[in-house]
Amino acid sequence: MKQDFKLGIPEYFNFAKDVLDQWTDKEKAGKKPSNPAFWWINRNGEEMRWSFEELGSLSRKFANILSEACSLQRGDRVILILPRVPEWWLANVACLRTGTVLIPGTTQLTQKDILYRLQSSKANCIITNDVLAPAVDAVASKCENLHSKLIVSENSREGWGNLKELMKVFLCHPGWSTVARSWLTATSTSLVQAILSLLSSWDYRHASDSHTCVKTKHNEIMAIFLTSGTSGYPKMTAHTHSSFGLGLSVNGRFWLDLTPSDVMWNTSDTGWAKSAWSSVFSPWIQGACVFTHHLPRFEPTSILQTLSKYPITVFCSAPTVYRMLVQNDITSYKFKSLKHCVSAGEPITPDVTEKWRNKTGLDIYEGYGQTETVLICGNFKGMKIKPGSMGKPSPAFDVKIVDVNGNVLPPGQEGDIGIQVLPNRPFGLFTHYVDNPSKTASTLRGNFYITGDRGYMDKDGYFWFVARADDVILSSGYRIGPFEVENALNEHPSVAESAVVSSPDPIRGEVVKAFVVLNPDYKSHDQEQLIKEIQEHVKKTTAPYKYPRKVEFIQELPKTISGKTKRNELRKKEWKTI
Ligand code: ATP
Ligand code: MG
């Protein structure tokens, strides 16, 4: 499996041309099931389905807009901040076709966040909607590289190209690009409005498309993804065309177990690399259908209803989502088509996987990876799942546990999770942190890229996550990973969620402190008594030295936008109060 995956990389590679357009050909030749390539729904019952051919046609039109109306050159950078609307997928493919560098951002960004991203990425173009356009306008004058703005909206906005209108213009005739360009620079929009209203009566689907995909080198930068910012400011990770375009085939084939008959739904926000992983590259590499529900907010019942109403076969979500789903009465829903469930982004605790299995009959196949990588470890279909383990290394990488000197540690010993990068850096790995050579260099040790996560491998070759290196607690000479303590805490009936960090202690240096969100039924219980009960429970469930000497009840845990627990915030709070 490993050797097959590591066969030579072509000199030129472009996912749009070499993968998507190939599926179009297969589709036309009737050599693929009749599944759509893309299937979008929203809460109002609206629905949109595109074949690979339609996806190709529409994305080529979008590509023309980027090159002509927005005057973007290959290598220019495009920030894309949109919710789960179809245009988000078109923008992804249009950037591939034009060789422009995509930088996705979440719609939850504030004006300050947008300024940080525009300035630090030196973006030339931004694509967003009505909600965020005012924030962009408020900071645009401070962003010298930004020269074009596209809005996805029913309404026009001064200084912005309107994507929906431009699509009609470009779809009518490539020559209309001149009109489109004038739209962007128009001081008076009334003339353009008049032209566009005339054009809007034309059926754009009948129009021709014409765009030649650029010939990108496999090692040319394709996209910049920002990390989740769990341990500080998000880092900008640069990925080449082969990195995700080819590398994510391990996710699609082995972890997600996708075929062209599958319908895959991944719930992650459009701002994260996880969306590129599971809502773009992995399913489309396999010719599967990308399903999406434009849910503005997380609603467990909508997720459960969608899984039962639509023929979704593969479901991917974050551990926090599964945790909330199992708190509902799932048994009344029937997931007729669902056959494979996966989770990644954080450890998923065995209590959640067990509840999900009891209620649905399906296992959750945990995967482990980073914005910097494709799948590092995973539980693959057909493999025995060891609850709590991240599974085995993906065929993309040589994954090892290494010590402080970069030596490989034997099974059973805890160390840093590393990916071998010498003599050859694998292509499913980012190339560098943008404009941060020292940070990039700090990830290398000996022959390895150091993930920043601690773990160990058991004698069967399964990997076990211990903690982010920063989260490890050193108490009286013991090294304690928060994950195991949180697992034990979460098994107590009073605990809805927990986070464990170090807290200063005059004798032990640090002790384990647990922040606990209580289940509603327990909020009125005697708190001192409950703390003792919880501590006793942990002592019995895991090695007693790990029990939390301090316990604090809180209303909610601090989380990143993507729902990960920010232990560093809790830790900072602890250490400031010394
Ligand atoms: P930042 O790098 O900005 O602090 P982040 O590391 O959370 O944020 P991501 O790249 O989104 O940003 O997340 C990757 C990290 O998520 C991994 O390094 C690991 O700590 C954690 N992670 C991902 N999957 C798993 C998993 N299955 N089990 C445990 N941890 C996981
Ligand atoms: Mg990280």
Provide the 3-class DSSP secondary structure of residue 260.
coil
| Residue ID of nearest Cα to ligand 1 atom 15 | 370
Q: Which atom of ligand 1 is nearest to 237's Cα?
A: 10
Q: Is 269 in the pocket of ligand 1 (CB under 6 A)?
A: no
Q: Is 468 in the pocket of ligand 1 (CB under 6 A)?
A: yes
Q: Which ligand is nearest to the CA of 482?
A: 1
Q: Which pLDDT score, from 0 to 100, does residue 203 have?
A: 43
Q: Which pLDDT score, from 0 to 100, does residue 561 have?
A: 79
Q: Which pLDDT score, from 0 to 100, does residue 28 have?
A: 97
CA of 367 to the centre of ligand 1 (A): 11
H or E stretch covering 313 = none
ipTM: 0.99
Q: Which atom of ligand 1 is nearest to 377's Cα?
A: 27
Q: Is 344 in the pocket of ligand 1 (CB under 6 A)?
A: yes
CA of 501 to the centre of ligand 1 (A): 17
Q: Which pLDDT score, from 0 to 100, does residue 452 have?
A: 97
Distances (CA, A) of 522 to 492, 494, 517: 11, 6, 10
Q: Which pLDDT score, from 0 to 100, does residue 578 have?
A: 44
Q: Report the C-alpha gap between 268 and 277 in whole angstroms.
A: 10
Whether the CB-CB separation of 149 and 104 falls below 8 Å is answered with no
Q: Which pLDDT score, from 0 to 100, does residue 478 have?
A: 84
Q: Which atom of ligand 1 is nearest to 229's Cα?
A: 3
Q: Is 77 in the pocket of ligand 1 (CB under 6 A)?
A: no
Q: Is 366 in the pocket of ligand 1 (CB under 6 A)?
A: yes
All residues with CB under 5 Å from ion ligand 2:
227
CA of 484 to the centre of ligand 2 (A): 20
Work out the angle between the directed axes of helices 319-326 and 350-360 (0-180°, nearest 10): 50
| Residue ID of nearest Cα to ligand 1 atom 17 | 370
CA of 230 to the centre of ligand 2 (A): 7
Whether the CB-CB separation of 59 and 67 falls below 8 Å is answered with no
Q: Which ligand is nearest to the CA of 562?
A: 1
CA of 356 to the centre of ligand 1 (A): 23
Q: Which pLDDT score, from 0 to 100, does residue 195 have?
A: 56
Q: Which ligand is nearest to the CA of 468?
A: 1
Q: Tens place of pLDDT for every residue, the chain, 578 residues?
A: 443 455 578 999 999 999 999 999 999 999 999 999 999 999 999 999 999 999 999 999 999 999 999 999 999 999 999 999 999 999 999 999 999 999 999 998 999 999 999 999 999 999 999 999 999 999 999 999 999 999 999 999 999 999 999 998 755 444 454 555 555 545 445 665 555 555 554 444 433 489 999 999 999 999 999 998 888 788 999 999 999 999 999 999 999 999 999 999 999 999 999 999 999 999 999 999 999 999 877 789 999 999 999 999 999 999 989 988 998 888 889 999 999 999 999 899 888 999 999 999 999 999 999 999 999 999 999 899 999 999 999 999 999 999 999 999 999 999 999 999 999 999 899 999 999 999 999 999 999 999 999 999 999 999 999 999 989 998 877 889 898 899 899 999 999 999 999 999 888 889 999 999 999 999 999 999 999 999 999 999 888 899 999 999 999 999 987 788 999 999 999 988 54
Domains parsed from the chain with CATH numbers: 472-577 (3.30.300.30)
Q: Is 443 in the pocket of ligand 1 (CB under 6 A)?
A: no
Q: Report the C-alpha gap between 275 and 290 in whole angstroms.
A: 11
DSSP β-bridge partners for residue 499: 515
Q: Which atom of ligand 1 is nearest to 367's Cα?
A: 27
Phi and psi at 398, nearest 5°, equal -95, 105
Q: Which atom of ligand 1 is nearest to 451's Cα?
A: 18
Comparing CA positions, the residue from 369, 362, 348, 346 lying closest to residue 307 is 362
Alpha-carbon torsion, ordered 510, 512, 515, 516, to 10 deg: -170
DSSP string, 492-504: STTEEEEEEEEEE
Q: Is 286 in the pocket of ligand 1 (CB under 6 A)?
A: no
Which tokens hold the place of 284?
A: 């489309």
Q: Report the C-alpha gap between 36 and 567 in whole angstroms.
A: 41
Q: Is 230 in the pocket of ligand 1 (CB under 6 A)?
A: yes
Q: Which ligand is nearest to the CA of 274?
A: 1
Strand 364-368 to strand 444-445: parallel, antiparallel, or no bridges (unpaired)? unpaired
Q: Is 234 in the pocket of ligand 1 (CB under 6 A)?
A: yes
Whether the CB-CB separation of 558 and 570 falls below 8 Å is answered with yes
Q: Report the C-alpha gap between 271 and 135 in whole angstroms.
A: 17
Provide the 3-class DSSP secondary structure of residue 514.
strand
Whether the CB-CB separation of 99 and 216 falls below 8 Å is answered with yes
Pocket probe mutation, ligand 1, options 228, 268, 376, max atoms within 8 Å of Cβ: 228
